[in-house]
């Protein structure tokens, strides 16, 4: 084997960066803070990239007594929000020599079997969405009860998590509701998720608060599973109910909103001329329907990045970052001014 084809070593990285092998070990093991300057750490990482150096993780983990593996627990992979959360988490993990195992546990189907014979033997920590908390007991069990846990989109007052990463859910639902109120809508239906989760309770509270002080504004709630057909059926019932017809459907997610748009069309009505529809999440689906959905964009990749960063900080004995991640109201073609009142209303 020639010198050029040999696998680069930490000594090669140290020589290229002009530092000691101990410094290389500190930097690539993410233990450099307070011991090595940021400039030196950058030089080491750049030298490692240039040489194509990959540390022997198996040997290092054996020495450290860790696996450098995190488990990301999500409700399902059919929702691209959670795929983007994984992308963000995996990016940060790769920067620190960690791996991320994805564990989907679809809501309503019960927790899947524990994929590990012993969670403590296989994991260094868990990152979990509040919508998939039913899976945590199956994953951790007695052996893994003290694994560091980072909760995503969860009640900040609930115990049990070493860190939490939340987005400004209430602010997002407030914005979308105020957008509709500003367009003159006063008869709203909240098409709510049937999932009993903190994030959806917050959305309901935010809608109620937004309409509370608006004269003549009312909001009625109907719930449905997070599925297009279920959303369509619930929206059809709400629109066909006795009394003045609602002029806007405020949906807990883009999937429900897609179903609501189908319901409007099946009843011979139009979006947004007769009924405005809003979503939440800004999935790819929001731009696939016609008209495209007015919705609330959640920073999914940032959620994953901050979740993994929080876990790394906990493992390193440092304080995780706090504060909600901001959301964005995205106005598209599914909302318009409320239609003139029908004769006799």
Domain coverage including residue 180: 169-298
The answer on 174 and 117 residing in a single domain is no
The answer on 98 and 18 residing in a single domain is no
Calpha distance 303→305 (Å, rounded): 6
Residue from 265, 279, 262, 272 nearest 336 by CA: 272
The answer on 288 and 224 residing in a single domain is yes
Calpha distance 256→280 (Å, rounded): 9
Calpha distance 129→167 (Å, rounded): 12
The answer on 177 and 156 residing in a single domain is no
Is position 154 within any domain? yes
Is position 312 within any domain? yes
The answer on 173 and 140 residing in a single domain is no
Exposure on the CB side of residue 20, measured as CA atoms within 13 A: 6
Q: What is the pLDDT of residue 345?
A: 46
Under 8 Å between Cβ of 179 and 248: no
Q: What is the pLDDT of residue 166?
A: 95
* Pairing mode, strands 248-251 and 187-193: parallel
Looking up residue 43, the CATH number of its domain turns out to be 1.10.260
Q: Where are the alpha helices (DSSP H) in the chain?
A: 10-17, 21-28, 38-51, 57-64, 80-95, 119-122, 134-140, 169-182, 198-212, 228-240, 254-266, 285-288, 300-315
Inter-axis angle of helices 300-315 and 80-95, nearest 10: 40
The answer on 155 and 68 residing in a single domain is yes
The answer on 140 and 50 residing in a single domain is no
- Point out which residues pair with 72 in neighbouring strands: 102, 127
Q: What is the pLDDT of residue 117?
A: 47
Q: What is the pLDDT of residue 96?
A: 85
Is position 331 within any domain? no
- Point out which residues pair with 296 in neighbouring strands: 329
Q: What is the pLDDT of residue 143?
A: 42
Is position 334 within any domain? no
Q: Is 219 helix (H, G, I), strand (E, B) or coil?
A: strand
Q: How many domains does the chain have?
A: 3
Q: How many CB atoms lie within 10 A of CB 201?
A: 15
Is position 102 within any domain? yes
The answer on 278 and 203 residing in a single domain is yes
Exposure on the CB side of residue 170, measured as CA atoms within 13 A: 11
Q: What is the pLDDT of residue 304?
A: 95
Q: What is the pLDDT of residue 118?
A: 45
The answer on 81 and 20 residing in a single domain is no
Walk along the chain (345 residues) in steps of 10 and give the mean pLDDT of each run.
58 87 78 82 88 61 59 80 92 88 62 48 79 62 63 87 94 97 96 91 96 93 94 96 94 97 96 97 94 96 95 88 94 95 43
The answer on 68 and 150 residing in a single domain is yes
The answer on 227 and 157 residing in a single domain is no
Looking up residue 119, the CATH number of its domain turns out to be 3.40.50.2300
Is position 329 within any domain? no
- DSSP states along 6-41: SPP-HHHHHHHHTS-HHHHHHHHTT--TTTS-HHHH
pTM of the complete model: 0.76
The answer on 242 and 195 residing in a single domain is yes
Is position 1 within any domain? no
Is position 237 within any domain? yes
Calpha distance 180→200 (Å, rounded): 19
Q: What is the pLDDT of residue 3?
A: 41
């Amino acid at each position: 084997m020639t010198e050029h084809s040999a696998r680069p070593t930490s000594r090669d990285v140290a020589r290229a960066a002009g530092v000691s092998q101990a410094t290389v070990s500190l930097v690539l093991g993410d233990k450099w803070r307070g011991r090595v300057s940021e400039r030196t750490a950058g030089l080491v990482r750049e030298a490692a990239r240039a040489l194509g150096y990959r540390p022997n993780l198996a040997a290092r983990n054996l020495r450290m007594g860790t696996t450098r593996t995190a488990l990301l627990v999500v409700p399902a992979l059919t929702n691209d929000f959670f795929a983007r959360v994984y992308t963000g988490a995996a990016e940060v993990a790769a920067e620190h020599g960690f791996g991320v195992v994805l564990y989907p546990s679809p809501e309503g189907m019960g927790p899947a079997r524990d994929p590990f014979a012993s969670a403590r033997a296989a994991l260094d920590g868990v990152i979990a969405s509040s919508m998939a908390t039913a899976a945590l007991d199956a994953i951790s069990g007695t052996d893994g009860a003290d694994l560091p846990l980072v909760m995503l989109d969860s009640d900040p007052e609930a115990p049990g998590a070493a860190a939490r990463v939340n987005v400004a859910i209430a602010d997002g639902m407030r914005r979308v509701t105020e957008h509709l109120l500003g367009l003159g809508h006063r008869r709203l239906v909240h098409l709510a998720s049937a999932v009993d989760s903190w994030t959806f309770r917050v959305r309901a509270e935010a809608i109620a608060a937004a309409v509370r002080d608006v004269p003549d504004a009312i909001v009625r709630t109907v719930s449905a599973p997070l599925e297009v057909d279920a959303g369509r059926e619930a929206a059809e019932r709400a629109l066909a109910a006795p009394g003045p017809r609602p002029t806007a459907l405020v949906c807990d997610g883009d999937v429900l909103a897609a179903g609501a748009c189908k319901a409007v069309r099946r009843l011979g009505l139009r979006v947004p001329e007769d009924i405005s529809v809003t979503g939440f999440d800004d999935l790819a689906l929001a731009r696939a329907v016609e008209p495209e959905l007015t919705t609330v964009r959640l920073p999914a990749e940032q959620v994953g990045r901050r979740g993994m960063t929080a876990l790394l900080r906990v493992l390193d004995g440092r304080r995780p970052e706090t504060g909600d991640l901001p959301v964005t109201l995205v106005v598209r073609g599914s909302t318009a001014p409320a239609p003139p009142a029908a004769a006799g209303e």
